[in-house]
Amino acid sequence: MQIPARISTRSSALPLAVLFSLICLVALLIPAPGSAAEQNTAFLPLKINAPDAAEVARKADAALSRELAEKNFALIPRARAEKMVDYNGSWPPPARTLAKVAETTGHDYVAVGSLTMIGNRISVDMEVFDMLSPGQPHSFYREGNSLADLPMITREAITDVLSYTNRNIIVASISVKGNKRIDTGAILGKISTKPGDFYNPARLRRDLKAVFAMGYFDNVEIDASDTPRGKAIVFNVKEKPVIDKIVITGTDEISEKDVREAANLQANTILNPTKLKEAVQRVRELYKSKGYYNTKVSARLSYPTENTVEVRLVIKEGEKMSIRKITFQGNKSFSDSDLKDVIQTGTWNIFSWLTESGVLKMDVLRQDAARLAAFYHNHGFMEAKVGDPVVTQKDDSLYVTFPIEEGPRYRVGTVDIKGDLIEDKSKLLAMLKIRKEKYLNREAVRQDSLKLTDLYAEHGYAFAEVRPRVSRSKTGKRVNITYVIHKGSLVYFNRVEIRGNTRTRDNVIRRDLTIKEGGIFDSKAIRKSTQNLQRLGFFEEVNIVPKPTLNEDQMNVDVTVKEKSTGQFSIGAGYSSSENLMFMGEISENNLLGTGNRLSLSANLSSVTTRFNLNFTNPRVFDSRVSAGFDAFNWQRVYDDYTKNSTGGGIRIGHPFFEKWRIYYAYTISNTTLSDLSENASQIIIDSQDIKLTSSVRLALVRDTRDRIFAPSRGSKNSISVKYAGGILGGDAQFTKVEGYSSWYFPMPWETVFHIKGAAGQAFENEAGKLPVYEHFYLGGMNSIRGFKSANISPIDPKTGERIGGDKMWYANIAVMFPLLKDAGLRGEVFTDFGNVYGVDDSWDFSDIKKSAGIGVLWMSPMGPLRLAWGYNLDRKEGEDQSVWDFTMGGAF
């Protein structure tokens, strides 16, 4: 019996709830009496049709102004209105005129009307124009017995107008018409108004501008019509014509292909005036970059059909001009030659076709002015100013002048450090470079600030602030410098998040990070982690950025990488009188399946040589610091007096030794046979025929601190190794071989790099006659002494004339590498190589040296690294070439 009662109670409450909801909704939708609405309607004064028009107009304007003011609205003053519409012309004014009124006043509607007086009776006709559909005005009519009824009539008329213009109308639909090529969805995506929204003309006008801003239309109009469901909004668009073809005329000095690439215009696309202007500007910049500064470029349009356009780029090439002279005005302390070394802009020379020297580039010229200012500031002239460079033209040449105001030169006075000190002040002062400077050097001050900041960051103070204060001394032209340090709070690493590794596994990255979650913040660990990831060779970019958290004493670390191709297909070729045409190739993957493992297969093929190698390396076994790998090979070499065949394999293990050293252990076993011996073969070759099985171990100690593997700019790689064959390992060969090398890279000014490398080795027979000829040393070629063919530096058997190698060798390379085309990754080098190989019966003789010098090119090409070198023999002996070309090239996949 209780259940029906409960049902009955709910049933009776439901209508009350619905009624209450409806009341609330109506209360929300209907403005409260007296509430002020935002003015969205422009009210024009009434046109007067009466005998005493001026007096009636005054009374009508006063009545309208009074009624509108009560609603926080305003009437457009009659004097201003008469400039906007023609009160003597047809009424109401044309829609075009009213649209300008709405645009000028910023309103959505325009209310116009007239007052007619016949005898004593008056009438007011009002029309409201919605500027989105001006062809459908809404009309209102009121009348009275005399002018005394004017206040009542105007009040009722204004109420009628505002009841219409302040209504809430729902947008029933939005559609697009007139588009043939532009997708409707793309247009609707630019329209913020959606079906179901309240009708808002101002918002729709913004939508119209957004659609027009797409750049694909000559005209966009909105049509708003009433339907039983609300307003139907239609965007009527007229598409711009399609580019039928692009014609380029007037190209003589620059190829049409290059001009087309610079313009970057495509046929069968819609004409976009903005993009067309940009194309013209890009072509102008192309000509300027080649020295044709007076070249004129214009775009002409013709319309073969209504919907197509032909774009014609008309080029009038000017004379090629180059910078002939650069001068400086106001420089007293430094010569023009000194200042020319500071700037990047140069004058024309015979190498300008390659270096673009002498080409005027305004952005570079402005940067040069900044470089000059920095140069002066770093040499004591703290008040120096460098004005905008002045470019003048004379005939077909350009002349550049840099105006300079040097000002006084300031020496360094006292240097002090104050604030929160974490080390003894004397130790901190000893770190400062500015103390060694004679004159004020702003760059040294900046570097010292960074050095101190970094020291504090290495000790966990991530937010430490170092502010240098530079003050003029009261006596003499000196400045005193004080570094004020605020260390802030101690910060800890929180989370390390890795991003961008689409292929490389997280653990491969994390194992090379020296950042420890939960550990004290350390900027040195961030730098070291960045270097470790860069040296992997898996990524184009590595960015490790600490990010603050809600906790002031914690920072997250974002490790962002950009993967690059780690597979490589490399090929090389060469020519020699002994091997004729040679081909070398390698296919390798340095990040196998994202594990960091390396797998490679290489081959060397020529008419006398066949070599195949298979190598696998796991650099971090179980993510430890231990590396391991295996090798397998099959080699064949045809010599003048014999043919050598070797097959074998081996295993390798490596692990850290000291902080930056690694130690490697390797075991190799190979079987070698010498066949097809000639009748006059050298005795050492005949003896080597009986040495078939070689069982050896190798111990190597390596230190590698280079910043990158290819084209390093700093750091070194050092190695020393000992190879032992025979003894308890068994086999036929019995020898010990010691080798070592040291290669160093030093950064120099103007992005040049100084490289020096030295290598030496010696082999010892553990048993007489058990050092086979193929374990001897040979030099020559790209990787040892350029200017000599590969393996051509070798002792020669005096009886047979055969190169039999030696048991001692050394060589050195000295080179300076410099950028040729930085953006293209092209670098040049000048080098000198020297060294020699000594026979078994010879001693070390440093008076007998093979020497060469030459030039080379290194290029990280789209197909991979390329090296080209030309070496000149500085002390040519009989049987040696005067010069030799060497090259290798490769490609990535």
Cβ(334)–Cβ(343) below 8 Å? no
pLDDT value of position 886: 82
Cβ(448)–Cβ(516) below 8 Å? no
Dihedral sign of CA atoms 842, 844, 848, 851 in order: positive
Residues β-bridged to residue 393? 398
pLDDT value of position 581: 66
Establish how many alpha carbons lie within 13 A of residue 445's alpha carbon, considering only the half-sphere containing its beta carbon.
25
Task: Please work out, in degrees rounded to the nearest 5, the angle formed at the alpha carbon of residue 698 by the alpha carbons of 692 and 700.
Answer: 155
Distances (CA, A) of 194 to 164, 188, 784, 861: 22, 9, 74, 52
Q: Give the closest residue to 634 by CA, choosing from 661, 653, 614, 664.
A: 614
Residue ranges, the chain, pLDDT below 70? 1-38, 167, 351-356, 572-582, 640, 823, 861-864, 888-893
351 three-state secondary structure: coil
Distances (CA, A) of 456 to 446, 465, 521, 522, 552: 16, 9, 10, 9, 16
Q: Give the closest residue to 583 by CA, choosing from 611, 563, 625, 558.
A: 611
pLDDT value of position 20: 40
DSSP of 777-819: B-B-STTS-TTS-TT-BS-B-TTT--B--BSEEEEEEEEEEEE
Q: Give the closest residue to 201 by CA, choosing from 134, 111, 130.
A: 130
Look up residue 199 and give its DSSP letter: P
Q: Give the closest residue to 109 by CA, choosing from 64, 167, 42, 162.
A: 42
Conformation bin of residue 488: beta by default, left when phi > 0, alpha when psi is -120 to 50: left
Distances (CA, A) of 544 to 520, 551, 559: 16, 20, 5
The C-alpha atoms of residue 68 and residue 159 are separated, in whole angstroms, by 10
Look up residue 730 and give its DSSP letter: -
Conformation bin of residue 787: beta by default, left when phi > 0, alpha when psi is -120 to 50: left
The C-alpha atoms of residue 584 and residue 579 are separated, in whole angstroms, by 13
Cβ(542)–Cβ(504) below 8 Å? no
Conformation bin of residue 751: beta by default, left when phi > 0, alpha when psi is -120 to 50: left
| CA-derived radius of gyration, the chain | 43
655 three-state secondary structure: strand
Residues 6 or more apart whose CB falls under 8 angstroms from that of 444 comprise 378, 433, 434, 437
Q: Give the closest residue to 777 by CA, choosing from 730, 741, 815, 830.
A: 741
E strand or H helix at 541 = strand 539-548
Cβ(870)–Cβ(887) below 8 Å? no
Token pair listed for 482: 């004080």
The C-alpha atoms of residue 858 and residue 860 are separated, in whole angstroms, by 7
From the number of C-beta atoms within 10 Å of its C-beta (0-12, 13-18, 19+), residue 329 rates as exposed
The C-alpha atoms of residue 287 and residue 290 are separated, in whole angstroms, by 5
pLDDT value of position 4: 32
DSSP of 487-498: -----EEEEEEE
pTM, entire model: 0.53
pLDDT value of position 731: 92
pLDDT value of position 579: 54
pLDDT value of position 874: 92
Cβ(233)–Cβ(224) below 8 Å? yes
Residues 6 or more apart whose CB falls under 8 angstroms from that of 870 comprise 786, 854, 855, 856, 883, 884, 885, 886
Residues 6 or more apart whose CB falls under 8 angstroms from that of 323 comprise 345, 346, 347, 348, 358, 359, 360, 397, 398, 399, 400
The C-alpha atoms of residue 303 and residue 616 are separated, in whole angstroms, by 65
The C-alpha atoms of residue 824 and residue 708 are separated, in whole angstroms, by 18
Token pair listed for 669: 């076993």
Residues 6 or more apart whose CB falls under 8 angstroms from that of 691 comprise 672, 732, 733, 770, 772
Token pair listed for 226: 């009433």
Phi, psi of 151 (to 5 degrees): -60, -40
Establish how many alpha carbons lie within 13 A of residue 207's alpha carbon, considering only the half-sphere containing its beta carbon.
26
Q: Give the closest residue to 108 by CA, choosing from 99, 116, 117.
A: 99
Cβ(879)–Cβ(858) below 8 Å? no
The C-alpha atoms of residue 481 and residue 182 are separated, in whole angstroms, by 65
Token pair listed for 43: 């009210």
pLDDT value of position 353: 62
